[in-house]
Amino acid sequence: MKAYLFPGQGSQFVGMGKDLFENSEIAKKLFEKANEILGFRITDIMFNGSEEDLMQTKVTQPAVFLYSVILSKTLKEFNPAMVAGHSLGELSALVANQTLSFEDGLSLVSKRAQAMQKACEAAPSTMAAIIGIEDKIVEDICQTITDEVVVAANYNSPGQLVISGSIKGIEIACQKIKAAGAKRALPLKVGGAFHSPLMNPAKVELEEAIHSTPFYQPVCPIYQNATARHSSNPIEIKSNLIAQLTSPVLWTQSVQNMITDGATDFIEVGPGQVLQGLVKKINGSVNTMSAQ
């Protein structure tokens, strides 16, 4: 069974999507429609902008979404038995399995990016990647830090967990986690504490937009970040998508559940190959590939 995976923020690169735009009429129309919806020419930034321009959250999130979704729509063969997306990628997956229209998906991504940007500016915060230590030890250490916000945010693969919180909280946690035996505790260059309680203002803002957006019956189930379980129920999908902003990304658990439910081939649709690498770390016996 084929599972299609959609990457999140961090996989972007200058020039992504340019080949699609130049070689596919479908892609060109969708990119131009995106320029209209967003009110600025995101294609100019994606194809020819600077890395700094592309790194802005309000640009990065729609850019990764557009490249992933438009690539899926130009594939000769696209027949997912199931889909999943990492963080932002969950919205790409929801367009790919027809829960959301392209236009509504892009609109929600844009609103999500702007709401998260505001939350980041209101409460300076960050994230750190923890490598080479058991998840339970990291979780326990985070719980000992009571005067700062620090939580487990991304369960990416066994031995790779990202924590999220206040700047001071992350500093304290990294020191404690290194002392407990972690191979690395690496601060990440991100705008804020994604998938933590500090994103609550963004969650409140996005909740209204999600509730007012039509969600349709999907053509295949999606395994959602907040639960790691599959869903084909539009009401349940909405609820899980709202929860995602302040809940950890249960990626390891999602991939394990997809394999248990019959996934044998994982196809990454979007920039980079990060998700393929994570899948291989979670279970080396399955096939991974990039969408062509």
Looking at the annotation, which residues are catalytic?
Answer: 87, 195
Cβ neighbours for 232, distance < 8 A, ≥ 6 positions apart: 217, 218, 220, 221, 222
- Nearest-angstrom CA–CA distance, 170 and 188: 10
Helix, strand, coil percent content, the chain, rounded in steps of 5? 50, 15, 35
Contact 118, 67 (CB under 8 A): no
Run of H or E residues at 223 = strand 222-223
Check if the beta carbon of residue 138 is closer than 8 Å to that of residue 130: yes
The torsion defined by the Cα of 127, 132, 137 and 139, in degrees rounded to 10, comes to: 30
